[in-house]
Amino acid sequence: MPSCQNCGYKWTWRETFIKMFTFRNKLKCPSCREHQYISKQARNKLSVFTMIPFLIWIPLVSFSMPFPYVLTVELLSFIAVLICMPFFYKLSNEEEPLW
């Protein structure tokens, strides 16, 4: 779970999860109200991680699995990714350029 680089407050899974859906790079710390940014390393990890449901899709379709089965697997992997995502968050005091 991420911890604030300003006050050291450890964000809970729930707080991180909610902030994930703002889709912003700038996140406000629930404890000190300072802005925190998702670190470059965490962003790279997250972008790879969100690819997993798409990567699962390819072998399922190429082995001509029945569509309801593919859909169920996709849905479950997507939910699993969402649940695990807060664990990959790392915060930084400054905005780091992506490249």
For position 7 contacting Zn ion by CB under 5 A, the verdict is: yes
Q: For residue 94, what are its two tokens? A: 């400054």
Binding span for Zn ion by CB under 5 A among 14-22, 31-39, 57-65, 69-77: 31-39
Binding span for Zn ion by CB under 5 A among 24-32, 41-49, 77-85, 90-98: 24-32
**C-beta of residue 9 within 8 angstroms of C-beta of residue 32:** yes
Separation CA 22–CA 25 (nearest Å): 9
SS3 at position 96 = coil
Residues engaged in binding Zn ion (CB under 5 A)? 4, 6-7, 9, 29, 31-32
